[in-house]
Every structure is written in structure tokens, then in C-alpha cells.
Amino acid sequence: MSAAMRRRAVLALPYAWLTLFFLVPFMIVLKISLAESVIGIPPYTALLATDGWQLHVSGESYRRLASDDLYALAYLNAIKFAGVSTVFCLLLGYPLAYGIVRAPRRWRSLLLLLVILPFWTSFLIRVYAWIGLLSGNGVINNTLLALGLVHQPLTLLNNAFAIYVGIVYSYLPFMVLPLYAQLEKLDPALLEAAADLGCRPWRAFCRVTLPLSLPGIAAGALLVFIPAVGEFVIPDLLGGPNTLMIGKVLWDEFFANHDWPMAASVAVAMLAVLILPMGFIRRLLQGETA
């Protein structure tokens, strides 16, 4: 095997793996989304009828998706929650990543380790732990009551606030790590050059550090935003029963209503919704480096 072929194989194998195990399940989901819901096993009609090879394509689930405001609202809500959380992750994560980069070298690996330390515990358990912190007789309320700062417990759980707390907390490391990687590459001489040319530290940050960290911001924002849009566990556990987020709607369609075609069409539409911001950010970055 030649060197060029080996190089291609190194790339081709993982991509073949990814393609296979992304595309095949996706095709199955797409197929189900075009079927009709029935009571039985499986709970949907076959796309290819066994009698006479006829295609039975139904747009019923997509028609409901488009006509019922609930779904559009759930998508918009999910995008809002994910978007606002991404902004907060950036506002918290940027100073954190910057601080780690500027810390003495011997501290850096420890500080980075602390950022990813939460991953050592199950995601589910960490979200559960927030219930213990936020509930009416949870740690935060008990502390505030004991200090006499409030006279009756604050409603911290089962609302939008709890969802934001949960998402920002859970996804912060995904923002910090790409930002750290980007900021760490920044040559300190560039900031000295900016200062030498008349920039106060804040101006040097705006004119040099910030534009040069845009790829890290974009990577971090995508890593937070995309999974947050489809997030189910956090809104379910912390947001209470009235939360309208698309991940939760999908779960309900699948497990509560047993409407597989509907759940599948929600999933297909979510993918379409997520591809849009990705394309937008890619455009933005290409404009920056061109």
C-alpha cells in the first residue's frame, strides 16, 4: 500500500464508521417519520408494502408538525433556552479560559483538570444534585432562610431559571476547553505590540485577543448550543412538567404517546433546525480567515 493510500485509509476508515452509524439510523428514523402510526409491533406502517412493492409514504406526521403550534413553539423555546445558555456559558467560560491561560504554567494542568472534574460523575446524578440544591427545602433556600435573607423559600426549581442553571452548569466545560485551546495559542508578544502601539489593556483585548479567539468562541458555542437544543434530561428534571422544549416533546411522543412516526418527524426536523446555525457560523468564520 502506498503512503498516499495509507493516508487516505486513515481518514476513510473513521469517516466510513461515522457515516455508517450516523446515516443508517438516520435513514431508519426518516423512514419511520414517513409512516403512519398503528397499534401493533412495530407501531408504524411499513414503507414498502409486501403486496406488490408499493410505496406507502405518509406525510401525516409532518403535516401535524407544521399545523400544530405546539411543535413550532417547542422548537423556538428550545432554541431560546439553548441560545441564552450558550451566551451565559460564553460570558462565564471566556474569563475562566483566559484566567487559566494566564495562570502560572505549573497551575494550568490542575486548573484544566478541575474544569473537567465533573465528568467523573454521571451527568444524570449531577443534574439530580441540582434538585437537592434548588428545591424549596434545598441547600440554597435553607441557607438563605438560616441567614435571614429571605423569609419564605424562593421558587428556584421547576422553572426556566432552573433550566438555565442546569444547562450552563452542565455545558460550561464544552465552552471552556476550545476557548482555552484557542487562547493558549495567542502569542503574548501580540498584546505587547498592541500596548506599544497605544492600546490600553481593554482596547488590546478588543482589537487583538477577541478577534483571534473567534474560532474558539465558535467551536465552544456549537458544542454547547447543539446538544442543548435537544436536551431532555435537564428540562425534564429541573424544568417541571410545563416546560416546552423540543427534546421533551420528542420523548413524550415516543414514550407517552407511542407515536413513533411523530417522534421521528420531530427528530428529523430538529436536525434541519440545527444545521442552519452551523452553516451560519461556518460562513462567519470563513469570512474572518479569508
Residues near another protein (CB under 8 A) are 187, 189-190, 192-200, 203, 207-208, 211-212, 288
CA distance 23 to 142: 50
Comparing CB distances to another protein, the nearer of 211 and 241 is: 211
CB of 97 to another protein, least distance (A): 19
Comparing CB distances to another protein, the nearer of 1 and 290 is: 290
CB of 285 to another protein, least distance (A): 12
CB of 200 to another protein, least distance (A): 6
Comparing CB distances to another protein, the nearer of 68 and 187 is: 187
CA distance 220 to 198: 31
CB of 104 to another protein, least distance (A): 14
CB of 214 to another protein, least distance (A): 8
Q: What's phi and psi for 276, nearest 5 deg?
A: -60, -55
Cite the DSSP H helix spans in the chain.
3-33, 60-67, 69-102, 105-116, 123-134, 139-146, 160-184, 188-196, 201-204, 210-212, 214-229, 233-238, 246-251, 260-289
Comparing CB distances to another protein, the nearer of 212 and 226 is: 212
Comparing CB distances to another protein, the nearer of 129 and 197 is: 197
Encode 24-54: b = buried (16+ Cβ within 10 Å), e = exposed. eeeeebbbbbbbbbeeeeebbbeeeeeeeee
